[in-house]
Amino acid sequence: MSIDAPASSPPRAALFSPEEVERYARHIVLGEIGGPGQQKLKRAHVLVIGAGGLGAPALLYLAAAGVGHLTVMDDDEVSLSNLQRQVIHTTPNVGQPKASSAAEMIAALNPHVVVDAVAERITAANALERIAAADVVIDGSDNFSTRYLVADACVLAKRPLVTAALGRFDATVTTIRAHEARANGTPNPTYRCLFPEPPPPGTVPTCAEAGILGALAGIAGSLIALEAIRAVVGFGEGLVGRLLMIDTLTMRFETLDYAWDPDNPLTGEAPTIHDLSAHRR
């Protein structure tokens, strides 16, 4: 399903300059995207949470694709160790807020993209407002508390979510459209249908503790950009109800099907999560 243009979109959002026609020519000749799909991309607003290993390549490809409005949220600063995988940042950006560093690179790549650089963490206090303002949300965060907060907020705000996670040599990617139903009327699954609860604190090592293959972030980040583009334009078969698992040690790409869990606390038969108050603790 694609994202339709909001009624408030300005007329210019559907028009391309000659430079834009040339810039997006390889999309426009694709029958699955074409001029109408490129117009949807130009009208779209994608919120990217995290300008790190996942968000960095995703932001570059979304900007290159012509997504008209990008909001990037990250409260961290660029460090030298980030540059091994966070390709939107460069050596002169070390010490700079990641959000503004990413915005600079996006502007250099595609000046037709409007970028909101938000140098703050997404929290229970601001999540619903930020998410409701976007058409599609990408979660590139690196911790479970943020991941569950964003997933819950997207369900409550009725927004599609593309989410991924990185391991040392492995990654997972999926798309959540829990506010919609399948053709048979069964609700689409939530993130909690796939992973009911986060693991206990301290049981999963951080990137700094375990290490990470830099190019893996580029693979997964490109895939979440593709899923966001698909969510806007509407083509092919996406990852709703499917978890893509990537193992770069064996170069295996596999998918795991998952479905709506009637016991899930968000959209189940007896929901217990109605707001984000549990995330304020």
Q: Where are the domains of the chain?
A: 44-280
Q: In whole angstroms, what is the distance from residue 264 CA to residue 157 CA? A: 17
26-51 residue pLDDT tens: 999 999 999 999 999 999 999 999 99
Contact 95, 78 (CB under 8 A): yes
pLDDT tens, residue by residue, 198-256: 888 877 778 788 899 999 999 999 999 999 999 999 999 999 999 999 999 999 999 99
Q: Does the pLDDT value for residue 9 go beyond 50?
A: no
Confidence (pLDDT) at 201: 80
pTM: 0.93
Q: How much is the average pLDDT of 57-63? A: 98
Which string of DSSP letters, residue by residue, matches the chain? -PPPPPTT--GGGG---HHHHHHTHHHHTSTTTHHHHHHHHHH-EEEEE--STTHHHHHHHHHHHT-SEEEEE---B--GGGGGT-TT--GGGTTSBHHHHHHHHHHHH-TTSEEEEE-S---TTTHHHHHHT-SEEEE--SSHHHHHHHHHHHHHHT--EEEEEE-SSEEEEEEE-TTSB-TTSPBPPPHHHH-SSPPPTTSS--HHHH---HHHHHHHHHHHHHHHHHHHH--S---BTEEEEEETTTTEEEEEE----TT-TTTSSS----SSGGGG-
Strand pairing class (69-73; 45-49): parallel
pLDDT band at 8 (very low <50, low <70, confident <90, very high): very low
On the question of pLDDT at 194 being above 70, the answer is yes
pLDDT of residue 209: 82
Query: CB of 117 within 8 A of CB of 97?
Result: yes
Please give the average per-residue pLDDT across 15-33, as a whole number. 96
Average pLDDT on 136-149 reads 96
**Six-digit token string for 110:** 């595609």
44-280 falls under which CATH superfamily? NAD(P)-binding Rossmann-like Domain (3.40.50.720)
Which residues, 6+ apart, have CB-to-CB distance to 195 below 8 Å? none
Q: What is the pLDDT of residue 101?
A: 98
From residue 96, alpha-carbon distances to 48, 70, 88, 172, 221 in Å are: 18, 19, 12, 29, 22
Residue 14 is predicted with a pLDDT of: 54
pLDDT > 90: what percent of the chain? 88
Res. 13 pLDDT band, cuts 50 70 90:
very low
In the predicted model, what is the mean pLDDT of the chain? 93
261 has pLDDT over 70: yes
Q: Stretch 149-164: mean pLDDT, rounded? A: 98
- Report the range of poorest mean pLDDT among 79-88, 201-210, 262-271: 201-210
Residue 11 has pLDDT above 70, yes or no: no
Give me the percent of the chain exceeding a pLDDT of 70: 95
Mean pLDDT (whole number) for 8-27:
76
Using pLDDT thresholds of 50, 70 and 90, give the confidence band for residue 193: very high
